[in-house]
Amino acid sequence: MSQKNYQVSWDQFHRDARTLARRLMDLGPFRGMAAVTRGGLVPAAIVARELNLRLIDTFCVASYGADNDLAQTKILKRITAELAGEEGQGLLVIDDLVDTGTTARLIREQLPKAHIATLYAKPMGLPLVDTFVMEVAQETWIDFPWDLGLDFQAPLVPR
């Protein structure tokens, strides 16, 4: 299967994060938020602003190796026991995307009652999140704005 790239601009990312916040508004209220590092930090700030959430912690996850293999995905830091509460009840967990579902599965194990939300979702991981904005094909690689830069584009007709 050939891999396609889907490039997301800052404008689109901001719009999609606001759409996510709008959807979450009817599903709360939430006691607080956990951002899944590092990709979840950016949408977490936007969603927290929209939903007026100020109690925010990080759930730090690092994946090693080419595929996000569960055995190679490590929790570097959990959220405080106080914020986790009773299995994450009333807690909003934000990440930029769910792909194979490895990261979301790890979080579900720790916080089974938390509401997990992502901007983008690929089919394999989709059942593991509660709310998302846009489905993207499994073979598509999403390029986030913080990984991109402005580049010269050659004109269609050469000079």
Ligand X SMILES: O=P(O)(O)OC[C@H]1O[C@H](OP(=O)(O)OP(=O)(O)O)[C@H](O)[C@@H]1O
The Cα 28–Cα 53 span in angstroms is 11
Is residue 43 part of the contact set for ligand X (CB under 6 A)? no
How deeply is 149 buried, as exposed, middle or buried, from its count of CB atoms within 10 A (0-12, 13-18, 19+)? exposed
**Residue 14, SS3?**
helix
Known catalytic membership, residue 147: no
Contacts of 5 (CB under 8 A, 6+ apart): 140, 141, 142, 143
Using CB distances below 5 to 8 A depending on partner kind, what does residue 144 bind out of ligand X, ligand XAN, Mg ion, none?
ligand XAN
Min separation Cβ 59 and ligand XAN, Å: 16
Is residue 57 part of the contact set for ligand X (CB under 6 A)? no
State which residue, 16 or 51, has the beta carbon closest to ligand XAN.
Answer: 16
Using CB distances below 5 to 8 A depending on partner kind, what does residue 101 bind out of Mg ion, ligand X, ligand XAN, none?
ligand X
Is residue 63 part of the contact set for ligand X (CB under 6 A)? yes
Is residue 99 part of the contact set for ligand XAN (CB under 6 A)? yes
Rounding to the nearest 10 degrees, give the CA dihedral for residues 22, 24, 28, 30.
Answer: -110
In contact, 61 and 40? CB cutoff 8 Å: no
Known catalytic membership, residue 99: yes
Please select the residue that binds ligand X; options are 32, 43, 88, 101, rule is CB under 6 A.
101
Which positions from 10 through 29 interact with ligand X, judged by CB under 6 A? none
In contact, 59 and 35? CB cutoff 8 Å: yes
Rounding to the nearest 10 degrees, give the CA dihedral for residues 59, 39, 132, 109.
Answer: -30
Residues that bind ligand X (CB under 6 A): 36-39, 63, 68, 95-104, 125
Residues that bind ligand XAN (CB under 6 A): 68, 97, 99, 141-142, 144
Active-site residue numbers? 95-96, 99
